[in-house]
Amino acid sequence: MPRLVLASTSRYRAELLSRLRLPFETVRPDVDEAPAAGESPASLALRLATAKAAAVAATRPEALVIGSDQVASCDGRILGKPGTRATAIAQLQAMSGREVVFLTAVAIASAGAPGEQALDTTTVRFRQLPDDEIARYVDAESPLDCAGSFKCEGLGIALFESIESRDPTALVGLPLIATARLLRARGVVIP
């Protein structure tokens, strides 16, 4: 079996990939994540996942590299990782009572081989969120490194009315159904 590398230092993605019970290492990809002018959320997610996998594959020629990226979009506007408490609160206020689309891409690459990619779309409908509840949530869970300012695997699930997705792991950051499919296509045996 080829050596597996996750082109990410996200603990969320590493926790998800560990569910497949395959040995892997993590490597931080050196990729500029800024969107190109006019780039759609889906194109951005796919481009970044592919770029992350390719960047790490170039330094690990013996490995099969998994890259992933997630882009949140509300009314076509890309929502990044908030980084600060104030930005997280502002994002959640803007998403209150609305639908937000999360596009989660995964790409597999290896040196000298064309990469494969997949994209999962998850639609989240937020409840009407009072400002005091938003502030309590941000203080309790500090979702500053999460696109959309919430952690659905934690208390963030209480912010939603509904979730529509083919793969519930995609919302956390790595669509495992697609990842397993792409790995099997490369000959990886998943227990």
CA 152 to chain centre: 12
Domain region containing 99? 3-185
Report the pLDDT value the prediction gives residue 1, as an integer from 0 to 100: 73
The verdict on whether 69 is a catalytic residue reads yes
- Is there a domain that residue 190 lies in? no
pTM: 0.90
Task: For helices 11-18 and 176-185, give the axis angle rounded to 10 degrees.
Answer: 60
- Is there a domain that residue 32 lies in? yes
- Domains in the chain, number: 1
User: For 28-81, how does the pLDDT look when each residue is reduced to its tens digit (9 = 90+)?
Assistant: 999 998 999 999 999 999 999 999 999 999 999 899 999 999 999 998 889 888
User: For 119-153, how does the pLDDT look when each residue is reduced to its tens digit (9 = 90+)?
Assistant: 999 999 999 999 999 999 999 999 998 888 998 88
Catalytic residue among 30, 32, 69, 132: 69
Element (H, E) at 61: none
Q: For the residues of 77-120, what is the DSSP string, one character each?
A: EEE----SHHHHHHHHHHHTTSEEEEEEEEEEEETTEEEEEEEE
Residue 131 maps to which CATH number?
Answer: 3.90.950.10
Q: Which amino acid is at 9?
A: T
